[in-house]
Amino acid sequence: MESDKRKILTAKDLSKTFSNGSVQQHVLKNLNLSIYKGDFTVIMGNSGSGKSTLLYALSGMDRPSMGTITYYTDKKNGDNKEIEETEISTFNNDKLAMFRRDHVGFVFQQNYLNDSMSALDNVMVCGLLKSTDRKSLAEKAKRLLHNVEIEEQDYRKFPTQLSGGQQQRIAVVRGVINSPEVLFADEPTGALNSQNTENVLNIMSDLNNEGQSIVMVTHTIKAAERGNRIIYLADGVISDEIDLGAYVGDYKDESNPNLAEAKDRHSRLKAFLQDMGW
């Protein structure tokens, strides 16, 4: 798909091969993909199709076996805004870690919060990797926690003293504390009950509406519907994709003013997935 939106990154001829003893498993196979600014991109596909592997490669959590990943980031040069191109696929671990700190956020299925730190400190520690201005960072962290409906009385609680849904909302805040170019999420609602799933999806939609670019892997139509661009991965290659347009609310909510459009999006997504053999 060619888009007139600004590119955030382009993966070219991406391959990932794992060696299990003498057996080589080709998990990603010459995959080509660009991610665009402002999009809520969703990646679906059967278990084992390579979704997590793709996400880790795109986000610089892991390196591909072959191919390139080029990021296009804003470089402020006086009054001129230039785009800086960075090819990350050959970076060593330190350079990758620095690149992730500056440009990428991540949310996993498990929240991976540090149990020995308060909710607020879990967010702060990540922010302090990039910023030394503790005061404005704390303000930002509290504002974001407030936005995801974490109450002030819970800022000092440890993750184990909070519900699974609260923990995942804190993990999302941690993912965006450094204002990443793109937030990657690997089944962020996979371990949540339906109410918490709804909350976290609402937060992802809110973030996207405020301009946050998101790439999310999911197994559910409910989560996928939040995206505007759905990509289907099969056996390490992109089978097809669909442009759904922006999320317009729940297709089952009779009070939704965009109900007709919501229903149309839902049935187009269902038909697409059916075509994909999902």
Ligand X SMILES: Nc1ncnc2c1ncn2[C@@H]1O[C@H](COP(=O)(O)OP(=O)(O)OP(=O)(O)O)[C@@H](O)[C@H]1O
Interface contacts to Mg ion, rule CB under 5 A: 52
Helix runs in 131-241, H state only: 134-147, 164-176, 194-209, 221-224
Q: Which does 50 bind (CB under 5 to 8 A by kind): Mg ion, ligand X, none?
A: ligand X
Bridge partners of residue 80, in order along the sequence: 77
Locate 52 and state its tokens.
């997590």
Q: Phi/psi of residue 110, each to 5°?
A: -90, 140
- Chosen from ligand X, Mg ion, none, partner binding at 100 (C-beta under 5 to 8 Å by type): none
CB 248 within 8 A of CB 257: no
In angstroms, what is the minimal distance from the CB of 25 to Mg ion? 15
Q: Quick one: what does residue 229 bind among Mg ion, ligand X, none, with the CB cut-off 5 to 8 Å set by partner type?
A: none
| Cα 273 from Cα 258, distance rounded (Å) | 23
* 245 contact choice in ligand X, Mg ion, none (CB below 5 to 8 Å, kind-dependent): none
| Closest distance of CB 133 from Mg ion, Å | 36
Beta carbon nearer to ligand X, 25 or 114: 25
Q: Which does 178 bind (CB under 5 to 8 A by kind): ligand X, Mg ion, none?
A: none
What DSSP string describes 2-32? Answer: --SSPEEEEEEEEEEEEEETTEEEEEEEEEE
Using rule CB under 6 A, residue 48 touches ligand X: yes
Q: Closest CB to Mg ion among 54 and 200?
A: 54
172 touching ligand X, by CB under 6 A: no
Q: Which of 10, 52, 208, 212 binds ligand X (CB under 6 A)?
A: 52
220 binding ligand X? (CB under 6 A): no
Tell the residue number behind the tokens 């187009």, with chain if given: 268
Q: Which two structure tokens, joined as six digits, stand for 110?
A: 């498990």
Q: Which of 50, 60, 105, 159 binds ligand X (CB under 6 A)?
A: 50
What is the Cα 107 distance to its own chain's centre? Answer: 7
Report if residue 49 touches ligand X, rule: CB under 6 A.
yes
Amino acid at 34: S
Quick check: 27 binds ligand X (CB under 6 A)?
Answer: yes
Scanning 6-14, 51-59, 154-162, 200-208 for contacts with ligand X by CB under 6 A, the matching segment is 51-59
The length of the chain is 278
3-class DSSP assignment, residue 69: strand
Interacting residues with ligand X (CB under 6 A) = 18, 20, 25, 27, 45, 47-53
